[in-house]
Structures are given as structure tokens and as C-alpha cells.
């Protein structure tokens, strides 16, 4: 409400003005705490998903996970490679997605046999020590090494050259922005 009132009273020229407006948007009590983010604060989640496992969108009941309809997502420390979700707050049980489990094949053979997944016993691609552990301890799953979270950006993202030209044109020719915001726009 305060943000819309501030917009009506005049234009907003820089991100610093947004921060001030958001802090003072609360009518009662303590003002909102605003954390300013830089390029260092963003992580590459797409890379993490490919490093972590092949399955993020098929649950253990072989149903497609409706990402847009998720209401509750739960992650437990004891079950590192699984996440649990609900599509409605009124659901009593969570549905489970095992990230390491490959999505079931959609071949005719598995449908005809009534198999939900095809099990293979080949250990050719597994290192000898892992093959020994699997033979000796078949119930203990072998967990892969956890991937590291990488930064999404190594440096500040640059504005498009056309946008910079347009901003400088507005600064010099049209005199659209107040003098106090010139420094911010020139840094772009």
C-alpha cells in the first residue's frame, strides 16, 4: 500500500529509493528488514540440479510433479536425496520424489510385463570397491558425493549496450532524471 502511494507521489529513479519505500511500508510495529543482494548472493541452481540427480519431476508413484501447484515442500536431513511435497495444504500425506531414481522407462515391454522399473544387475561401470560393497551389503545404498553449490555470476552483470545508449540519451538530451541519479545511471 505504501509502495503504491509512493508511486503516486512521484517517480522512482533508483533501487535505493525502492529499499527506503519497502522498509517504511509497514504501518505498525518494526519496519521491514531489507537485505540488499549482490551478484555474489545468487547460486546456479540449474547446474546443481544436473549435478545432483536425474529426477526432479517424477514422484515415487510415477506421477508427474506439478511444479506450479506445489504448496508445501519439505526436505529432511536424514533423507538427503529425497524431497516431499503437497499440492494442497489440506493433504494429509506428503508425496515423495527420489532425486537419484531414474524416471521409469516408457517402453512397451515394461508396460506389458507390469513392471514399473527395469532392474539391471550389471556392474561393469561400477568401480571394483563399490561392486564389492554392493555384493557384501546389498541393502545399504551407495550415495554419490554431494555436489558443491556454484555461484551463478562471477562478476556484476552488464546492461545491454542499447540500454546504456538510451539511458545516456535520456540523461543528456531530455533531462528526464534528477541530477542526484546521474551517478547511478553512469555506472551502468
Q: Which of 58-72, 114-128, 171-185 bottoms out in mean pLDDT, i.e. has the lowest?
A: 114-128
Residues 55 and 119 placed together within one structural domain of the fold: yes
Is residue 40 within 8 Å of 151, Cβ to Cβ? yes
The SS3 assignment for 172 reads helix
What is the Cα gyration radius of the chain?
Answer: 26
Kindly tell me if the per-residue pLDDT of 93 is higher than 90: yes
Q: How many domains does the chain have?
A: 3
pLDDT level of residue 109 (50, 70, 90 thresholds): very low
E-strand spans in 99-141? none
Question: Which whole-number Å values give the CA distances from 173 to 14, 18, 163, 180, 187, in the listed order?
Answer: 19, 26, 15, 16, 18
Location of C-alpha cell 509512493: 6
pLDDT greater at residue 185 or residue 169: 169
Residues 47 and 97 placed together within one structural domain of the fold: yes
Is residue 56 within 8 Å of 46, Cβ to Cβ? no
Give the range of the structural domain holding residue 81, as residue numbers without chain letter: 43-136
Q: Which of 48-52, 70-74, 178-182 bottoms out in mean pLDDT, i.e. has the lowest?
A: 178-182
In this structure, what DSSP letter does residue 87 have?
S
Is residue 66 within 8 Å of 87, Cβ to Cβ? yes
**Residue partners of 96: CB distance under 8 A and separation at least 6:** 59, 60, 82, 83, 84
Among 92, 85, 45, CA closest to 68: 85
**Residue partners of 69: CB distance under 8 A and separation at least 6:** 87
Residues 64 and 131 placed together within one structural domain of the fold: yes
Show the CA angle centred on residue 118, arms to residues 114 and 123, nearest 5°.
160
* Residue 92 counted as domain residue: yes
Residues 56 and 75 placed together within one structural domain of the fold: yes
Average pLDDT over residues 88-103: 87
Residues 61 and 83 placed together within one structural domain of the fold: yes
User: What is the Cα–Cα distance from 104 to 61, expressed in whole angstroms?
Assistant: 10
Read off the pLDDT of residues 4-57 as tens digits, 9 standing for 90 and up.
Answer: 666 666 777 777 788 888 888 888 889 888 888 888 888 887 887 777 777 778
Residues 61 and 116 placed together within one structural domain of the fold: yes
* Residue 178 counted as domain residue: yes
Residues 13 and 76 placed together within one structural domain of the fold: no
pLDDT level of residue 74 (50, 70, 90 thresholds): very high
Residues 61 and 106 placed together within one structural domain of the fold: yes
The SS3 assignment for 107 reads coil
Average pLDDT over residues 54-80: 87
Q: What is the mean pLDDT of the chain?
A: 75
* Residue 146 counted as domain residue: no
Residues 79 and 118 placed together within one structural domain of the fold: yes
Amino acid at each position: 500500500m505504501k509502495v503504491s502511494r509512493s508511486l503516486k507521489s512521484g517517480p522512482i529513479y533508483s533501487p535505493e529509493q525502492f529499499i527506503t519505500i519497502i522498509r517504511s511500508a509497514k504501518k505498525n510495529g518494526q519496519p521491514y528488514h531489507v537485505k540488499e543482494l549482490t551478484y555474489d548472493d545468487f547460486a546456479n541452481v540449474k547446474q546443481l540440479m544436473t549435478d545432483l540427480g536425474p529426477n526432479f519431476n517424477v514422484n515415487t508413484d510415477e506421477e508427474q510433479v506439478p511444479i506450479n501447484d506445489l504448496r508445501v515442500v519439505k526436505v529432511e536431513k536424514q533423507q538427503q536425496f529425497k524431497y516431499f511435497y503437497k499440492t494442497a495444504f489440506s493433504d494429509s500425506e506428503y508425496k515423495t520424489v527420489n532425486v537419484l531414481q531414474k524416471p521409469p522407462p516408457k517402453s512397451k515391454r515394461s508396460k506389458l510385463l507390469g513392471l514399473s522399473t527395469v532392474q539391471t544387475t550389471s556392474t561393469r561401470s561400477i568401480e571394483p570397491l563399490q561392486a564389492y560393497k554392493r555384493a557384501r551389503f546389498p541393502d545399504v545404498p551407495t550415495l554419490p558425493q554431494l555436489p558443491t553449490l556454484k555461484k551463478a555470476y562471477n562478476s556484476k552483470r552488464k546492461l545491454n549496450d542499447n540500454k546504456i545508449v538510451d539511458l545516456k540519451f535520456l540523461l543528456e538530451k531530455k533531462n528526464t532524471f534528477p541530477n542526484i541519479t546521474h551517478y547511478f545511471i553512469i555506472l551502468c
